[in-house]
Amino acid sequence: GTMVQRRKLEEEDFRGTQFVNHTLDLKGNNDILSVTRPDIISDIHEQYLAAGADIIETNTFSGTSIAQLDYGLQAYDEVFRINKEGAQLAKAACVKFTAQNPDKPRFAAGAIGPTNRTLSVSPSVENPAYRATTFDEVVKAYYEQCEGLVAGGVDMFLVETIFDTLNAKAALFAIDKFFEDKGTKIPVFVSGTIVDKSGRTLSGQTNEAFWISVSHAKPMAVGLNCALGAKDMYEYVKNLAKCCDAYVFCYPNAGLPNAMGGYDDTPAQMAADCTPFAADGLINGIGGCCGTGPEHIKALHDVVAAPHKPRDVPVVENLFRTSGLEPFIYQPDPQDHRKTFINIGERCNIAGSILYKKAIVAGDYDKALAIAKKQVEQGAHMLDVNMDDGLIDAVPAMTRFVNLLVSEPDTAKVPFMIDSSKFFVVEAGLKCSQGKCIVNSISLKEGEEAFIQNARIVKRYGASVVVMAFDEHGQAATEAEKVSMCQRAYKILVEKVGFNPQDIVFDPNILTIGTGMEEHNNYAVDFIRATREIKRVCPGSKISGGVSNIAFSFRGNDAVRRAFHSSFLHHACAAGLDMGIVNAEHCIHDVYEKIDKELLMYVEDVLLNKCSNATERILQYAATLEPKCTPTAVRKKGVSAEALSGEKVTTWRELPVEQRLAHSLIKGIDEFVVNDTEEARKASERPLHVIEGPLMDGMNQVGDLFGAGKMFLPQVIKSARVMKKAVAHLIPFMEAEKEAARLAGTADPNARSDSGCFLIATVKGDVHDIGKNIVAVVLGCNNYRVIDMGVMQKCSDILDRAILEKADIIGLSGLITPSLDEMVTVAKEMEKRGMKLPLLVGGATTSRMHTAVKVGPQYTNTVVHVLDASRAVPVCQALLDEKKRADFELDIKDQYTELREDFYASLEDRKYLTLPEARAKGPKTDWKLPENQPHKPAMLGSRVFKDFPIEDVVRAIDWNPFFQVWQLRGRYPNRGYPKIFKDETVGHEAKKLFDEANAMLQSFIDKKALSLTGIIGIYPCNSVGDDIEVYTDETRETKKCTFYTLRQQAEKDTLEPYMALSDFIAPKETGVQDYMGMFVVSAGFGLDKITEEYKAQNDDYSYIMAEAIADRLAEAFAEVLHEKMRKEDWGYSQEENMSTEDLLKVKYQGIRPAPGYPSQPDHTEKSTMWDLMDVKKEIGVELTESLAMLPAASVSAMVFGGKCSQYFTVGKITDDQVKSYAERKNMDLAETEKWLGSTLSYEP
- Can you give the three-state secondary structure of 561-616, one letter per residue? HHHHHHHHHHHHHHHCCCEEEECHHHHHHCCHHHCCHHHHHHHHHHHCCCCCCHHH
Residue 1050 confidence class, pLDDT cut points 50, 70, 90: confident
Q: Using omega within 30 degrees of 0 as the cis cutoff, is the peptide bond preceding 441 cis?
A: yes
Tell me how far apart the alpha carbons of residues 645 and 399 are, in angstroms, rounded to a whole number: 47
Residue 766 known to be catalytic: yes
Q: How far is 430 from 457, CA to CA, in rounded Å? A: 10
pLDDT of residue 197 exceeding 70: no
Neighbouring residues of 1077: CB distance < 8 A, sequence distance ≥ 6: 937, 1016, 1017, 1018, 1019, 1125, 1130, 1198, 1199, 1200, 1201
Quick check: 97 and 106 in contact, CB under 8 A? yes
Q: 0.75 cut: is pTM over it? A: no
- The one-character DSSP state at 787 is E
Whole-number Å distance between alpha carbons of 732 and 495: 65
Instruction: Name the helix (H) or strand (E) containing 264.
Output: none
Q: 376-401: per-residue pLDDT in tens?
A: 999 999 999 999 887 788 999 999 99
Do 475 and 469 touch, CB atoms closer than 8 A? Answer: yes
Residue 477: how many CA atoms within 13 Å on its side-chain side? Answer: 9
Q: Mean pLDDT: which of 23-37, 1146-1160, 1181-1195 is highest?
A: 23-37
Q: Where are the beta strands (DSSP E) in 870-1003?
A: 941-948
Q: In a 10 Å sphere around its CB, with 0-12 CB exposed, 13-18 middle and 19+ buried, how is residue 902 labelled?
A: middle
DSSP reduced 3-state for 316:
coil
Amino acid identity for residue 961 in this structure: P
Q: Above 50 in pLDDT, residue 646?
A: no
Given 567, 813, 819, 847, which residue is catalytic? 819
Where in 1138-1217 does DSSP place strands (E)? 1182-1183, 1189-1190, 1194-1199
C-alpha closest to that of 1023 among 1077, 1078, 1073 = 1073
Instruction: Please write the tens of the pLDDT for every residue from 951-1003.
Output: 999 999 999 888 876 656 777 677 778 888 888 777 887 888 899 899 999 99
Check pLDDT > 80 for residue 543. Answer: yes
Q: Catalytic residue among 264, 766, 983, 1026, which? A: 766
3-class secondary structure, 727: helix
1133 catalytic? Reply is no
Helix (H) or strand (E) holding 1120: helix 1100-1124
Cα angle value 402/404/409 (rounded, 5°): 105
Cis peptide before 1057 (omega within 30 of 0): no
Q: Which residues of 682-697 are buried (b: 16+ CB within 10 A; e: fewer)?
A: eebeebeebbbebbbb
Q: What is the pLDDT of residue 906?
A: 59
Give residue-wise pLDDT tens across range 551-602: 877 877 889 999 999 999 999 999 999 999 998 889 999 999 999 999 999 9
Q: Where residue 710 falls among pLDDT bands split at 50, 70, 90?
A: low
With left for phi above 0 and alpha for psi between -120 and 50, is residue 342 left, alpha or beta? beta
Mean predicted confidence (pLDDT) in 620-642: 79
Query: Of the given ranges (257-261, 789-793, 1006-1010, 1020-1024), which has the lowest mean pLDDT?
Result: 257-261
**Comparing C-alpha atoms, which of 162, 225, 214, 217 is closest to residue 185?**
217
Q: How far from chain centre, in Å, is Cα 1095?
A: 43
Residue with the bigger pLDDT between 713 and 506: it is 506
DSSP state of 62: T
Q: Which helix (H) or strand (E) holds 66?
A: helix 65-68
Residue 440, H or E segment: strand 438-442
586, 768, 850, 1122: which one is catalytic?
768
Greatest alpha-carbon span in the chain? 127
Confidence of residue 649 (pLDDT cuts 50, 70, 90): very low
Q: What pLDDT digit, counting tens, does each position of 47-82 carry?
A: 999 999 999 999 999 999 999 999 999 999 999 999
Name the band, by pLDDT with cuts 50, 70 and 90, for residue 645: very low
Judged against a pLDDT cut of 50, whether residue 1193 lies above it is answered with yes
Non-local (6+) Cβ contacts of 186 within 8 A are 150, 154, 155, 156, 157
- 909 catalytic residue (yes or no): no
Q: Given this model, what pLDDT does residue 61 score? A: 95
